[in-house]
């Protein structure tokens, strides 16, 4: 069951990437993220209510509340660090570091949850996933050489922070979701993500851009749809990590890249280099090997 949930998470996350891209052509990314999170929150609580889990809200213990809150805050912190790093450093330097969060999550799950079965295979697959991810990153020249020179290597701190917080999100959620219905846990956690998302918009003085009159209706529709698919992905993901093995769930969820690249190629007519496709193949094979034999 949890393997199917992990696969569902990857499918919905892959569709989300394409829908979100269609929704941010003119809409500010921070504003788009905040709007999407509102939809995710509504969807998550609707699912919690329809499955009869919302009534268990009062039974959530203090420890679960704390870890679910920390997981939501970690998600927001990861977003903040990521965009700060991009504003200070080259894309081809920041993105590969951020992408290592999946491997970091696997290693943390091994250390903290004792998920050391088939350890040599997991380590080999983790190395392959890392290599494949780096191969998929498009190399670009710096957009602003003066900005890069002014900040030096300061971007590295934020890029590493983005990866660390992204990894901590899954680990903290794994602890917080123990004994809590997965749909309800997702809804509770999303409340804290929402606060972080709108805090970023407010601190960056972008609230005027979030007014309905300032938004493109077509893009708003795509953002709403991406919010629904994000919510579906999160519901599947947290069900999977609640019932399954984190070090296996995370790389399966990572296969959302396969889905998003497929949709982008057919819907957006994007083309990929042989190097990127080879990297995708490596990530896919390593992930499937871990899911089947780990």
Q: What does the pLDDT look like over 66-118, one tens digit per residue? A: 999 999 999 888 877 876 786 676 655 676 677 778 888 888 888 888 888 88
Distance CA 103, CA 250 (A): 9
Radius of gyration of the chain (CA): 19
pLDDT of residue 92: 53
Instruction: Kindly tell me if the per-residue pLDDT of 143 is higher than 70.
Output: no
Domain range enclosing 286: 1-27+216-293
Does residue 283 form part of some domain? yes
pLDDT of residue 109: 87
Cα 129 to Cα 2, 12, 96, distances in angstroms: 21, 21, 12
Among all chains, which residue has been given the structure tokens 């399966």? Answer: 252
Q: Are 190 and 37 in contact (CB under 8 A)?
A: yes
Does residue 98 form part of some domain? no
Does residue 16 form part of some domain? yes
User: What pTM was estimated for this model as a whole?
Assistant: 0.76
Three-state SS sequence of 112-163: HHCCCCCHHHHHHHHHHHHHHHHHHCCCCCCCCHHHHHHHCCCHHHHHHHHH
Structure tokens that stand for 97 in this block:
């570091």
Instruction: Kindly tell me if the per-residue pLDDT of 257 is higher than 80.
Output: no
pLDDT digits (tens, 9 = 90+) for 174-207: 899 888 998 999 999 999 999 989 998 998 899 9
Does residue 32 form part of some domain? no
Does residue 1 form part of some domain? yes
Instruction: Kindly tell me if the per-residue pLDDT of 42 is higher than 70.
Output: yes
Question: What is the rounded (10 degree) CA torsion for 254, 256, 258, 259?
Answer: 170
Distance CA 224, CA 243 (A): 29
Q: Domain count for the chain, please give it.
A: 1
Cα 235 to Cα 48, 188, 242, 289, distances in angstroms: 10, 12, 11, 24
Instruction: Kindly tell me if the per-residue pLDDT of 152 is higher than 90.
Output: no
Does residue 101 form part of some domain? no
Does residue 223 form part of some domain? yes
Cα 218 to Cα 33, 36, 114, 129, 230, distances in angstroms: 16, 14, 47, 36, 18
Q: Are 106 and 126 in contact (CB under 8 A)?
A: yes
pLDDT of residue 232: 92
Does residue 280 form part of some domain? yes
The helix/strand count (H/E) of the chain reads as: 13, 0
Count the Cβ atoms, other than its own, within 10 Å of residue 2.
17
Residues 6+ apart with CB under 8 A from 19: 222, 223, 225, 226, 229
């Amino acid at each position: 069951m949890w393997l199917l949930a992990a696969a569902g998470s990857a499918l919905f996350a892959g569709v989300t990437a394409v829908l979100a891209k269609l929704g941010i052509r003119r809409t500010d990314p921070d504003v788009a993220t905040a709007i999407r999170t509102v939809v995710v929150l509504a969807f998550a609580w609707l699912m919690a209510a329809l499955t009869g889990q919302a009534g268990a809200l009062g039974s959530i213990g203090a420890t679960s509340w704390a870890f679910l809150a920390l997981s939501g805050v970690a998600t927001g912190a990861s977003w903040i660090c990521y965009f700060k790093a991009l504003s200070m450093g080259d894309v081809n330097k920041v993105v590969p570091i951020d992408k290592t969060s999946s491997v970091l999550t696997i290693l943390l799950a091994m250390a903290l949850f004792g998920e050391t079965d088939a350890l040599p295979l997991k380590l080999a697959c983790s190395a392959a996933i890392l290599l494949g991810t780096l191969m998929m990153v498009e190399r670009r020249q710096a957009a602003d050489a003066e900005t890069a020179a002014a900040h030096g290597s300061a971007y590295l701190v934020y890029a590493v922070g983005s990866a660390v917080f992204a990894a901590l999100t899954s680990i903290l959620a794994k602890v917080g979701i123990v004994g809590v219905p997965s749909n309800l846990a997702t809804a509770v956690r999303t409340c804290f993500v929402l606060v972080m998302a709108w805090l970023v918009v407010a601190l960056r003085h972008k609230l005027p851009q979030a007014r309905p009159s300032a938004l493109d209706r077509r893009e708003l529709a795509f953002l709403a749809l991406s919010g629904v698919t994000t919510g579906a992905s999160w519901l599947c993901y947290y069900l999977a990590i609640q019932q399954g093995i984190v070090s296996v769930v995370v790389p399966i969820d990572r296969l959302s890249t396969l889905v998003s690249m497929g949709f982008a190629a057919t819907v957006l007519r994007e083309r990929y280099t042989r190097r990127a496709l080879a990297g995708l193949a490596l990530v896919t094979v390593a992930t499937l090997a871990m899911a089947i034999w780990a």
